[in-house]
Structure 1
């Protein structure tokens, strides 16, 4: 049965920008809201509390396969690059202090048996990555057997999660399986300084 998308009274959509697989967006605009739909994918939301800005990424796989890693380099579709890219963008546009960062993570659903539980691998990756970097997850909605829509306000850090019905999950499974089988990526055009 489909769920209605009712927002809490204090959560207004503002200007919504969709974050697709491989995207990493940051904003300082008070009315900005980032939105994405996740199956086994992960979205991390990072906010610099002192600077009043934040961002969201969206990645499908924790790591590249051996063949694509050698031929194409890194891509924001993969966890390590996506996480480093988002953290560095928030730090460089914000206060530059790691202690000011707040982390919220979402996704990693096991929405199709044919995905070999990519979601669980993604959850393990994001938790390990943040722990190794010394960051604490302040809020999370991970796992389960469903897709979810996430709306995130980068300036306030407010997030709204809606669990989606089986029709949405089936569409996402189709898209994710096609991408996971392809594993073809575009080379990265810009260099990013890693902290």
Structure 2
């Protein structure tokens, strides 16, 4: 993992593909770089060390639910889905052996005072998920009060992290507020029962 202000030569060539919130991309192309910008969101970078196949996801969890049975609420199921989807895609395209996986996790910054600390909940979630599934993180860059640009080479497994300035933090914070507001505004329709009991 490289943390710097200028791109190393390895990241300054080839094709760059942006990983947006909700995406999960996997590849074994030598000159491909996955790139994303994270505020409170988390990205996992998973790679099969033997097959040189890797991928990146990008997810944001919403507020924690009060239910102990569903500790992180409905969106945690999305987070779990995002993690399972990435791991399964890498296993399918790779050797199929969990022991060959290398996992790096990034993000979870606290960049928005208007929201609860979603970043911390994301960090707790991803650590708990990986521990429960029997995985260890090879590298992490989590928390803090800044946004990050993460670049990941799926073939080599190299990652590059750049901490972003306050201007980027403000822009990402606005986007996250909009996502949180849109999730709160979704009204669940009541289930209409078409079955008549006699």
Report the TM-score range of the alignment, normalised by the length of the smaller protein: 0.7 to 0.9
Change (3 A) 1:103 1:168: same
Does residue 147 (structure 1) correspond to residue 110 (structure 2)? The answer is no
The CA distance in 2 between the partners of 1:76 and 1:47, in whole Å, is 23
Rg bigger for which structure? 2
Q: How many residues align?
A: 174
SS at match of 2:114: helix
- Name the counterpart of 2:167: 167
Structure 2 distance, partners of 1:65, 1:181, is 16
2:60 equivalent in structure 1: 60
SS in 2 for 1:175: helix
Q: Unaligned 5+ residue runs, structure 1? A: 67-73, 185-195
Distance change >3 Å, CA 11–CA 17, structure 1 → 2: closer
Report the Cα distance in structure 1 between the residues aligned to 2:26 and 2:134, rounded to whole angstroms.
Answer: 22
Q: Check whether the contact 1:52–1:156 (CA below 8 A) recurs between aligned residues.
A: yes
Q: Note the 1:36-185 alignment, pairs <5 A.
A: 36-61=36-61, 78-183=78-183
Task: Quote the Cα distance in structure 2 between the aligned partners of 1:158 and 1:15.
Answer: 15
Distance 1:50 1:62, change over 3 A: farther
CA distance in 2, matches of 1:168, 1:92: 36
Aligned partner of 1:30 in structure 2 is 30
5+ unaligned residues in a row in structure 2: which ranges? 67-73, 187-198
Q: 1:156 to 1:77 in 2, by over 3 A?
A: farther
Note the C-alpha offset of 1:64.
Answer: 8.5
Q: Deviations over 1:22-62 (max 9, x none)?
A: 00000010011000000000000000011111000000116
Counterpart Cα distance in 2 of 1:182 and 1:151: 28
- State how far apart, in whole Å, the 2-side matches of 1:84 and 1:64 are: 20
* Contact 1:59–1:76 (Cα < 8 Å) also in 2: no
Task: Quote how far apart the aligned CAs of 1:8 are.
Answer: 2.5
Residue 61 and residue 51 in structure 1: after superposition, are their counterparts in 2 closer, same or farther (change >3 A)? same
Q: Hey, what's the Cα distance between the residues in 1 that align with 2:115 and 2:96?
A: 38
Contact 1:46 1:103 in 2 (8 A): yes
Structure 1 residue 21 displacement after superposition: 0.2
Q: TM-score, normalised by structure 1?
A: 0.83
